[in-house]
Copies of this chain bind each other. A is one copy, B any other.
């Protein structure tokens, strides 16, 4: 095809979409990046916002700000509610209109999934967006307030019991972060309760936690979690979640605070492409990340179902989304230059998971280790990553200060139901 000044639409301002926009910086094109929020979120540290260790503003940056020097990019704050790959248009809300494209890079991410039990969401919020983290933080902090006011022992214990459903990295990081805060940051704040008696229970339906890690690291993680005081229960499939806690078959666990980290489902935008999806709603992309029958439509990030050479799925992590975004962008450039596209190759930079406040596990294939060294590595990698958002030295000072002193300001409970809700505004 011959296109003088191509129109490229990127859906999503997460890792996939942002890396695609950046990789397209030098080409002569009209790029529109659409997101329903005005910020890029550094999702790997979202659990720290949820546990009142960092503020939302510590891990977000406005998409417009990040792309302010990308003169070929127009940022649009809107929700995509339709894609027509035959007419080559994307539909957005407020104001409702269609945006035509010559190339589409789709990177809308995923949401947590309740496996059909959407009624559980009210009792067990997940952790994907900033609002989710604020909600988790609110419930976490309110539980202690309710325990302090509790009329009887059962009510008090139910309020001091926190259940995390799902033993993947998010569940492990969230459950590991709660006990130190309860014990070290909060215990002098209350008069009627001993926050050191907080119970944190991590429920995993399968036989092991962190199934994507090798056995030896899973053992390290399990041991570390148990040392922190997390009650890890595998083979525990949750069969009910309600205001009183959870049910696992015949067993009931009383808890007023349940968090959900058990599964993801891809963005519903995948369904609009008219191509085959996997069970989780991910698009079965071709080798070069385009969709079958439409070489001008690419998918990156959590929405893409991509198989590695060894047959395993590329994981839904930030480095994978970044790499896919770059490959999609480069393939757009190659098509414009009448060159053949190139297949995507996942480069696994290694997997890291934090346990508590000073341990982690690191898997680099042949090199595997756990403990404080892994935690320092995690810290280094994440702090360096955050650097792109803000100022290197300041981020480090601030982060270190907040982390080691249990920053007090972020322990605020906002949006309590007493306040009037935000007025609807376009």
Interface of A, helix, strand, loop or mixed by DSSP: loop
| 122-167 of chain A: CB within 8 A of chain B | 122, 125, 129-131, 134-135, 138-139, 141-142, 145-146, 148-149, 151
Most buried by B among A139, A389, A422: A422
Instruction: Known contacts A131-B419, A145-B38, A394-B398; decide if A407 and B68 are in contact (CB<8 Å).
Output: no
Asked whether A412 lies within 8 Å of B130 as measured between CB atoms, the reply is yes
The answer to whether the Cβ of A239 comes within 8 Å of any Cβ in the partner chain is no
**Interface: A426 (CB within 8 A):** yes
Give the number of copies in the complex. 2
Whether A407 pairs with B189 at a CB distance below 8 angstroms is no
User: Judging by beta carbons under 8 Å apart, are A38 and B141 in contact?
Assistant: yes
Would you give the 0/1 interface string for A188-201, flagging 1 where the beta carbon is closer than 8 Å to chain B? 11111000000000
Inter-subunit contact A408/B145 (CB<8 Å): no
Task: Say yes or no for A367: interface residue by CB 8 A criterion.
Answer: no
Interface string of A410-426 (1 = CB under 8 A from B): 11111111110111111
Cβ of A86 within 8 Å of any chain B Cβ, yes or no, is no
Residues of chain B within 8 A of A38, CB atoms compared: 141, 145, 411-413
Q: Are B69 and A188 in contact (CB under 8 A)?
A: yes
Q: Which residue of B lies closest to A65 (CB)?
A: B408
Pick from A74-82, A210-218, A263-271 the stretch touching chain B: A74-82
Q: Are A129 and B419 in contact (CB under 8 A)?
A: yes
A106 interface residue, CB < 8 Å from B?
Answer: no
Within 8 A of B (CB), among A63-111: 64-65, 68-69, 74-79, 94-95
Least Cβ–Cβ distance between A156 and chain B, in angstroms: 13
> Is the CB–CB distance between B188 and A68 below 8 Å?
yes
CB-CB under 8 A from A417, the residues of chain B are 422, 424-425
**Chain B: which residue is nearest A42 at the CB level?**
B409
Mask: chain A, 385-404; 1 = CB below 8 Å from B; 0 = not: 00001110010011001000
Minimum distance in angstroms from A320 CB to a CB of chain B: 25
Contacts A61-B408, A407-B57, A419-B129 given; indicate if A74 touches B191 (C-beta within 8 A): yes
A268–chain B nearest beta-carbon distance, Å = 14
Give which listed residue, B36, B138, B410, B418, contacts A57 with CB less than 8 A: B410
Query: In angstroms, how far is the closest chain B Cβ from the Cβ of A354?
Result: 21
